[in-house]
Structure 1
Amino acid sequence: MVKLELEKLGLHPTSIELGEITIQENCIEDKKEELIKNLELIGLEVLDDKRSQTIEKIKTIILELVHHSEAVLKVNLSNHISSQLNQNYHYLSNLFTEANGITIEHYFIAQKIERAKELLIYDELSLSEIADQLNYSSVAHLSKQFKKVTGLTATDFKKLKIKLREPIENL
């Protein structure tokens, strides 16, 4: 969709990645407002300042790591983000917290819990396997964070999910 919108304006994308577009043209100031308007109509937001772009890149790195990586999450988060963006982690952490009101670590934990919820819903892995996949030191550690974030134990969440799947007349 993004490529189509760019081409409608006579722009030629060389690369379209999640959160970043590279185009052949050097100056697009005359088409920039129209492009922004067209992209907003299809539900996309253009981040024009470096700070917003950096924050979105941090979120993308975490989302990729937690939700789209097949590897077990055994990376040092601060080193990973810092090396991916080639910037000082302390600066990135302050920037992220200032913009979002939560730390990178809390955002990471929230995403891990979302992933745990998905895996619980799929019902293919045990809680122990989920804890291992998400690089928790123990099931107890996962359970404690799960309860802190969701207000439910993982077992209660699973029971609630099963109950919600029952036909309405059985409830």
Structure 2
Amino acid sequence: MGQLNLNKIKSENSKYEEKTKIDFEDGTYLHIYKHFSNSKIKQVFDNFAKVAEEAKVKNFEKELNSFNWMDLLTCFIIEGFTDLEFSKASKAKLKEFKILMETDYYNKIVESFEQKELEKFMVKVAESIKLYQTLQNEMQPVKQQVMNINKKKDILFPEATKKVEKK
């Protein structure tokens, strides 16, 4: 044992590039990452959030809501921690996830991830959701104050109101 240094950290981080080969009964194979890095976990969660937001904006929430959320997160894990390629377009990606979930490949892939890494991912997701909820709760009073100021702008800023009226 010795003092922690950058070489030790670099050496430790190399484990995040290690992959394992999964062989399927039909002779095909897939590589999966053995370990989930914090940055890759964040990227997977960000991709999940991006698709959810895009579904709302582009009106394909029905497709998104047809998933059990745990299955959907699992598909994003597969996308982020394997070399299986999915479409870039969110709506197409959701269709591909559905197709994958209907196969025996899906269960074999999920079972091939180390339980410890899946738990690590879920803990990070839970922390992100908790942080988001905390920020939302803390922003409510600020939003209310802004709305109250806006309602009283004539009283609080009479000069600004008069200038707008003159134009």
- The structure where helix makes up a greater share of residues is 2
The question of a shared fold, defined as TM-score above 0.5 by the shorter chain, is answered with no
Give the structure-1-normalised TM-score.
0.31
Q: Which has the higher contact order (CA 8 A, sep 6+)?
A: 2
